[in-house]
Structures are given as C-alpha cells and as structure tokens.
Amino acid sequence: MRLLFLGDMVGKTGRTAVWERLPGLVGDLKLDFVIVNGENAAGGFGITEDIFLETINAGADVVTTGNHVWDQKEAVVFCERHDQFLRPANYPAGTPGRGSNLFFARNGARVLVANIMGRVFMHPELDDPFKAAETILDACPLGEQADAIVFDFHAEATSEKQCFGHFVDGRASLVVGTHTHVPTADHQILNGGTAYISDAGMCGDYDSSLGMDKEEPLNRFISKMPKGRFEAASGPATLCGVGVEISDRTGLAEKIAPLRLGPRLDETIPEFWS
C-alpha cells in the first residue's frame, strides 16, 4: 500500500498548493491513501468546514489536527458531522468529535488513523498520550481489525515524539510527527517495522517564521512587544510530507522517504514511487 502524509497546511498559500498538487500526486504516484494535517489552514489558526471539504475533494482521505483544532469555533460543530475529520484522541471524555477512526483505502485495505497530542511544552496539556494510544491499539490491533495503522503525533519535543515511536514500534505502520513545521531528516524504519519521522514539515511559505509572516515574530523576539497580529505568509508554498510503502502482508513499513515540492527547499519525491 502506498500512503502519503502531508504536513500542516498553513494559511491560504499552503492549502491552495495542496488543493492544486494533490489530485495529480494521487494519480501519478498511484496513492492508496492520503492524510493531511489541516490545523493551521485558516489563516494559520484552525480550520473551517469549507477548507476541510475542499481538502477532502482534492484527494485527502483524512484531515488531522492538533492544538489549534478549536481556533475556528465552527470546528466544534462540524467535527461531529465528518468521520474524516480528527482531533487529538487524548482530549478528555465528552469532547466533541473523534480522535481515531477506521477507513478504507483505495486498494480496499483497512487503515486506522489516530491523532494524538503530546504534552511536553504543549498547551492545553491533554491526557496521557501513551495511554490513549494503548487504548486505541487494544481496540483495533494491526493485523486483526486493521491492515495499516498511522499515528499523527502532534508534539513539540522530539524526545517525546521518538519515545512515542518506540512505544508503538511493531504495532503501527507509521508514526509521523507534526506541529513544529520544520521537516526533519530522521525518517527511518524502527526495529519493529514502524516507519517514523519526527516532523513532516509544513505545506506553506518557507520564507517565513513557521509559515507566518516573519516581521511580527521577529519584532517580538527583538523588542518583546507586540506590534500586531501574526498573519500567515503569502508567498509560494512548498509541500512537505512523507511517503511510505506498507506491506500488504504484515501492515508494517517497507520503505519511507520524504516528499518536498515547491520553490524553497530541494524538491524530492520518494524514488521507490518513480
């Protein structure tokens, strides 16, 4: 199975780039399943229902989120209407929406996708992500109820991300880190067969500060005084993500490689898909 994960869409330039490029990628790369993190898609803060639906229409099978999931208040309502929209699973019981779900890939495989948020340097501090993952895996084990399992681990600290990867190693197909918006170079297959990367990067303007116009963040670092609001950068976007080949027999990863398309970073498409 061929699976593509695209990192956090940031603002109009990021979401537009995904909508324009993803349909072609699905066809050209013969993708069976696509996951996109959309928590920064609406001006850098949250996501609207229209943006969510446009992302699904472009070819995404699931849209995950993170700590900005509720920044657009309408998300509290529309999250209940769409099974393909995920918020972090370790929110307290009774929180609207869902944190994991089972989907069918284009090749017929059953894919469990779970959105988990870390706790180190994160706000709000949610329930234990490791216990949340254990509960999800107990309910839908790899090789039994699921043919593939993917965790979007939305967290700040790379140590927490790496430990989470080791925690589910051999029980998940992919652990992909999101939130920091900077693509890391540590894509690998762990000892137990789980593909891992600390951060997939973002889909946004890299001539920026994490996808935001750089002037106000720079001002705050220098002066410690806000002059205005953070605004999403509006230059050409680079798509960043990761591609994974998953065994149809074991549900574990066979290959992993970064995907980068755009003007600011060296372009790369997983060679095993060419």
| 260 DSSP β-pair partners | 240, 268
CB-CB contact of 119 with 129 (8 Å) = yes
CB-CB contact of 125 with 155 (8 Å) = no
Cα–Cα distance measured from residue 200 to residue 187, given in angstroms and rounded to the nearest whole number: 9
User: Is 107 known to sit in a ligand binding site?
Assistant: no
Annotation says 68 is catalytic: yes
Closest C-alpha to 244, from 203, 198, 196: 196
Cα–Cα distance measured from residue 50 to residue 61, given in angstroms and rounded to the nearest whole number: 15
User: Is 166 known to sit in a ligand binding site?
Assistant: no
Q: What are phi and psi of 244, to 5 degrees?
A: -135, 135
Cα–Cα distance measured from residue 58 to residue 15, given in angstroms and rounded to the nearest whole number: 10
Cα–Cα distance measured from residue 224 to residue 27, given in angstroms and rounded to the nearest whole number: 48
Cα–Cα distance measured from residue 200 to residue 182, given in angstroms and rounded to the nearest whole number: 7
User: Is 82 known to sit in a ligand binding site?
Assistant: no
Cα–Cα distance measured from residue 205 to residue 103, given in angstroms and rounded to the nearest whole number: 31
Active-site residue, selected from the candidate residues 68, 82, 166, 187: 68
Cα–Cα distance measured from residue 148 to residue 29, given in angstroms and rounded to the nearest whole number: 19
Catalytic machinery residues:
68
Q: Which residues are annotated as a binding site?
A: 8, 39-40, 67, 154, 179, 181
Q: Which residues are annotated as a binding site for Fe cation?
A: 8, 39-40, 67, 154, 179, 181
